Amino acid sequence: MHAYIKTPFYRNSKYIPHLLEHCVNSRGNLNSNDFFSYVYQSDADTFSWYTHFSFSDKISIEVFISWLQKDLDAGLIEYEKQILKDELKDVNFAQELFEKIWKRLHWIDFNNNHISRVSTIEIVDYHKKYYKSAEIIICDDSFNIISPTKKFTEAAALNDNTSPSIIKVRGESMRVFIRTYASWKDYYFMLFIQELLKSFQEYTERHKKWVYYFDNRVFLFRTEKYSILSFPEYFECNISIEFFDSFKTYFLTRILSWYWKKWIPINLTLLNQYAKMSEVIDFCNGFKFEESLSFLWND
């Protein structure tokens, strides 16, 4: 089972959403037997703008939601703050890039480690505001939505307002494309381009040219308003129509795979838009070579 909760940044920081993820996942109240039912299949992660929990179907949805909503203990908050301090020590390349993009977008620093001035009251208020039953999206292991059964809004059309720029991180020049994210369509389009570039980079550099290949530098970030694609400036997008077509066939198969189904509840969490799998397939099937890649070539 999975639970998704919309958890916006607080004061340009992911700190409170992340701290809450730790606090609500504390299980000191359980006896050892129940503790192991909980541990089985349990996982939690905080991403930009949403938090994800997975839990065993041995635990009822009502019980799991009541755990998420349980009053926070001030001592527990202080304890988890210390753990977060250690967790947030290392900033990776992607985080550094995201911080720079955030600054470019909002003219203000984004700070993962924004800790000291957050009061217990702010944390408790944030918890009450975003961990409401009607806002918690629950789905089964195949990512079919179980609750809530509220009315979702219609998807908007795909946006075409992509603005490119260059941002330097650790000496590397990164091309950055920012697109307003108003519809699940914007997200699938950017996901398609990201996966296409990743596959192309891997195919040409690793398999064909044997260039030293450590990690893929093609990133897709997302906030409530934007989806942001970034890849190295040196990287040439001279993708052929054959490669594009083979990739598209692969992408349409992958999108039906277990792991990728999760984008449906995630888009629901972020945008309150529900897309059926068949709608997603139809939409992605319509991607055309020149149309899809023109924004990469014209910057």
Nearest distance in Å: CB 15, Zn ion: 11
* Residue among 87 and 233 whose Cβ is closer to Zn ion: 87
Nearest distance in Å: CB 185, Zn ion: 32
Nearest distance in Å: CB 87, Zn ion: 5
* Residue among 87 and 160 whose Cβ is closer to Zn ion: 87
Helical packing angle, 184-201 and 241-254, nearest 10°:
120
* Residue among 81 and 261 whose Cβ is closer to Zn ion: 81
Phi, psi of 139 (to 5 degrees): -135, 165
* Residue among 87 and 291 whose Cβ is closer to Zn ion: 87
* Residue among 87 and 224 whose Cβ is closer to Zn ion: 87
Residue nearest to Zn ion (CB): 87
Neighbours of 95 (CB within 10 A): 16
Amino acid code (one letter) for 116: S
Nearest distance in Å: CB 84, Zn ion: 6
* Residue among 78 and 291 whose Cβ is closer to Zn ion: 78
Nearest distance in Å: CB 96, Zn ion: 18
Neighbours of 239 (CB within 10 A): 20
Nearest distance in Å: CB 67, Zn ion: 17
* Residue among 78 and 87 whose Cβ is closer to Zn ion: 87
* Residue among 82 and 298 whose Cβ is closer to Zn ion: 82
Within 8 A by CB and 6+ apart from 233, the residues are 166, 173, 174, 175
Nearest distance in Å: CB 18, Zn ion: 6
Nearest distance in Å: CB 238, Zn ion: 40
- What's the per-residue H, E or C state across the chain? CEEEEEECCCCCCCHHHHHHHHHHCCCCCCCHHHHHHHHCCCEEEEECEEEEEECCCCCCHHHHHHHHHCCCCHHHHHHHHHHHHHHCCCCCHHHHHHHHHHHHHHCCCCCCCCCCCCCHHHHHHHHHHHCCHHHCEEECCCCCEEECCCCCECCCCCCCCEEEEEEEECCEEEEEEEEECCCHHHHHHHHHHHHHHHHHHHHHHHHHCCCCCCCCCCEEEECCCEEEEEEECCCCCCCCHHHHHHHHHHHHHHCCCCHHHHHHHHHHHHHCECCCHHHHHHHHHCCCHHHHHHHHHCC
Q: Give contact residues for Zn ion (rule: CB under 5 A).
A: 87
- Token pair 């299949």 in the structure block, residue: 41
